[in-house]
Structure 1
Amino acid sequence: MKYLNSDNPMLVSGSAASVFDPDLAKLPAVASQLDFARHQAEVPVHVHRKGQLIVSLRGAVTCTADDRIWIVPPDCGVWIPGGVRHSARATGNARLIYLFVEPGAARLPEDCCTLSISPMIREMVYRLAREGADYLPDSHAARLARVVLDELVEMPRERFSLPISNNSKIRAIADALTLEPSDRSTMGEWAKRVAMSERSLARLMIRDTGLTFGRWRQKLQLVVALRELASGATVQNVAAELGYDSVNAFITMFKKALGSTPAQYFAQRRATMVQSQEARSATH
């Protein structure tokens, strides 16, 4: 089956990108559910006319778009406007919902971002995914789609991304560290691998990402850690995957970066979303 709107026209079996072409539907919004146990876990670079919201029901996914790596944590979704080239990598247990939005159908952001997703929106998108891409304009599904878009516009942005720039050398380091986050090579060692001097790599990092190499690598590890923790991995396993000598060392890094331990962080996010939903319900 052919990748839809992919840069690579070769035939690939089992790709999640080959399930259906959202651009064939002219409806304001259509949704599709994907279980990555049945598909390849990596979706290559592709582009489509419609904007796309990626929401995780189970497991976790990271996306590369707009020169950044984006994570889809619990109760959030990554919004990718139409026309933006992107790829995705999901954990093997991932179960995702894609919401495709026709350009101009809603006042959604013009750039990539992570949006908070209320339980109500998640359930409505899940319901819309069962309607397919051919519902009638005056149907219940059409009204449901309109409510989903209206609610999405009100959702606040979150900050779950890592700058990687369009520089091939930084992308190569990001790809390698994403696949092997426990790699503790120094900046000098990475500079040799990408055929640069250490000083040149340091300047390139600051210029293209706004971060030193050490801060940038720590943010990448946080992205990986959040993805794996969201997929159900234990703190012990994540600490080991990232190359930490002890669980306490990993928790200390996590708390210093995000202000709470992993357990506290996810508990606070769940509580915040419940409170937000209750507050919104009270005003309607």
Structure 2
Amino acid sequence: MGYDGPPSSEQHLRRIAWIEQVDGAIVPLASDYADAIVVPPHRHSRSQLLYAVTGIITVITETGRWMVPPDHALWVPAGMEHSVRPHGRVSMRSIYVSPDAVTLPAICRVVAVTELMHGLIVEAVKLPRRVPPGSRAALIMALVAEELPLLPERPLGLPLPAEPRLAALCQSFLSNPSPHATIDHWAERLAMSRRTFTRVFRRETGLGLAAWRQQACLFAALPRLAAGEAVTTVALDLGYDSVAAFTTMFKRALGRPPSRYLRDG
């Protein structure tokens, strides 16, 4: 259903128009992207589940960044402007959902894709555009809608603050992330007390600095690891004192050490 291939600007606009006009509560679409292809900011009236079958993508909105590695997907609510940046060659499958078809929070969130949902998505993109009621295709679409709210959420979001000075500090950190950033140092740079900084940072991002810092380091590490760089090189470049310290952080966040995580993905 739909069409494949990395979109040019014109193709991208046609794709958005097609998504807006096509019938059906659930609309699957397959897309393949080469490295350095960036999908520009856009929005649509349907919610979208972006599923990276292979490769890693970063999705950027006004409120944050979300990393989507293999076996994961990102839920983007209807009407939210977002851009997509693939890392390496990416095979992506999207499920576009009418707002009244599924009840989910109107926020972006990364979810793990279960084996059942993987199979459903792979089958859904093969189906014809017109789905007769009661057919196998209709049952697949109905099951996709049933499974969407059940996908487990994963901590792969990186909210960005709106407060200008804090936003500038966070953007600077993203250019050179380090596990050693401290509340005291950041509070000093913003001429705030430790208590005020802690309160403002959590109000702006929903996270404490330590959790946000960990997410930023993961965002920097995952594309490099997926590209084949050695765990040791990535860990030391990010400023970790040892590979063991980096591996502990990675396993705590994603449930598996880097080598196993990438091998399984």
TM-score where L is the length of structure 1: 0.70
Which residue among 60, 63, 86 is the counterpart of 2:56?
Answer: 60
Q: Deviations over 1:60-116 (max 9, x none)?
A: 112234723222133221111101222222202222111111111123333322222
Name the counterpart of 1:25: 22
Q: Is the 2:36–2:87 Cα contact (8 Å) retained in structure 1?
A: no
Which residue among 102, 107, 110 is the counterpart of 1:106?
Answer: 102
Which residue among 106, 115, 119 is the counterpart of 2:111?
Answer: 115
State how far apart, in whole Å, the 2-side matches of 1:247 and 1:160 are. 21
Return closer, same or farther for 1:61/1:109 CA change in 2, 3 Å cut-off. same
Whether 1:36 and 2:29 are equivalent positions in the alignment is no
TM-superposed deviation, 1:59:
1.0
Whether 1:197 and 2:190 are equivalent positions in the alignment is yes
TM-superposed deviation, 1:257:
5.5
Return closer, same or farther for 1:226/1:81 CA change in 2, 3 Å cut-off. same
State how far apart, in whole Å, the 1-side matches of 2:84 and 2:254 are. 24
Return closer, same or farther for 1:29/1:13 CA change in 2, 3 Å cut-off. same
Return closer, same or farther for 1:225/1:153 CA change in 2, 3 Å cut-off. same
3-state DSSP of counterpart to 1:60: strand
Return closer, same or farther for 1:264/1:13 CA change in 2, 3 Å cut-off. closer
State how far apart, in whole Å, the 2-side matches of 1:131 and 1:174 are. 44
Which residue among 123, 128, 153 is the counterpart of 1:127?
Answer: 123
Query: Mean alpha-carbon deviation: is it higher for 151-160 or for 200-209?
Result: 200-209
After superposition, residues 1-284 of structure 1 pair within 5 angstroms as 13=8, 17-18=12-13, 20-21=15-16, 22-37=19-34, 40-65=36-61, 67-131=63-127, 134-138=129-133, 140-181=136-177, 197-199=190-192, 202=197, 204-211=200-207, 213=209, 215-229=211-225, 233-244=229-240, 246-255=242-251, 261-263=257-259
TM-superposed deviation, 1:58:
0.9
Q: Deviations over 1:134-158 (max 9, x none)?
A: 3244354333222211222322222
TM-superposed deviation, 1:210:
4.4
TM-superposed deviation, 1:209:
2.0
Q: Which amino acid in structure 1 is aligned with residue 15 of structure 2? A: F
Name the count of aligned residue pairs.
Answer: 253
Name the counterpart of 1:281: none
TM-superposed deviation, 1:47:
1.2
Q: Deviations over 1:209-238 (max 9, x none)?
A: 244545532321123334544565542343
Q: Which amino acid in structure 2 is aligned with residue 160 of structure 1? A: L
Query: Mean alpha-carbon deviation: is it higher for 61-70 or for 241-250?
Result: 241-250
Return closer, same or farther for 1:111/1:186 CA change in 2, 3 Å cut-off. closer
Q: Is the 1:16–1:34 Cα contact (8 Å) retained in structure 2?
A: no
Unaligned runs of 5+ in 1: 1-11, 271-284
Q: Is the 1:124–1:148 Cα contact (8 Å) retained in structure 2?
A: yes
Q: Is the 1:14–1:40 Cα contact (8 Å) retained in structure 2?
A: no
State how far apart, in whole Å, the 2-side matches of 1:190 and 1:78 are. 30
TM-superposed deviation, 1:258:
5.9
State how far apart, in whole Å, the 1-side matches of 2:187 and 2:179 are. 14
Q: CA RMSD in A?
A: 3.7
TM-score where L is the length of structure 2: 0.74
